[in-house]
Structure 1
Amino acid sequence: MSVGAAYYRQTQGYGVTPAVLETYSSPGLQAIYYTHLGSLLPEPMLLQKPNIVAPDGTQTSYSQNSAGEFHLYGTSAAAPHAAAVAALMLQQNHTLTPDAIYTRMRSTALDMGAPRYDRFTGFGFINGKALLVSG
């Protein structure tokens, strides 16, 4: 699962609907021309990524900026937020498989672009409350 990024203050939790994708989040449907071994594919493979979007820009204990504040931005910050929600889901139900977690994350995500899936935001912004309430 790949994760796009939305600044946490530009999400539904802060009254912004839909959440706003960070400009540096990579668009999906990137063409893959070679196998992992370096062989040319007969035709390019288009990956449907990202799958979901999660928050970035939150406070951390490192990554101090010039103003002395600690914030972390980018998909490198968003992916751990999605992983944290997955961990909470597993804590709630330890029998969940990775596929079940991915499916629930996709089905409960809040649309940010076209309904269901779009190449920029995947299935939308992760909805931790719905994921944990649905048990």
Structure 2
Amino acid sequence: MVLFSLVGQGLSIKPLIEWLGVTKKEKGYKAYEELLARAHRFENAITEINKAKKNLLITEMVTRELVDEYEQTLESLHKDMELLFQEHPELKEKQQTTLQKYALYAQHEAINRLLKEDIISNEVAEQEHELITNKLVELEEEQ
């Protein structure tokens, strides 16, 4: 009976959640993820080519053609992303919110470094951390 209960509930929970629409993503989100994944692939490839060029003493002439091809592909992907944002402005807003959070985390780390290096006092650090935390909470509430 216990086994039936576990298996029955385990197999039925995913279809139930999908039917309720709890995990439903915005329109265009899959296309957004695909463009993002491709852009990261090509940017990472360019970075690695430049590292290999330096570490393996590969000439500029050899690497330039491939890097140019990847940069053209990236440019095309960025244009596609802009078109997608025009069709689905909520995706652009989501990306802007992600960037704002990332910047706030960086600010938090900067305050930690200043505190660790005794450049600012604990009082000022706490005050700044509170401002940053409040802004993060505002961003979460807006979503």
TM range (shorter): under 0.3
TM-score, normalization by structure 2? 0.22
CA radius of gyration, larger in: 2
Relative contact order: is structure 1 or structure 2 higher (C-alpha 8 Å, sep ≥ 6)? 1
Of Structure 1 and Structure 2, which has the larger fraction of its residues in strand? 1
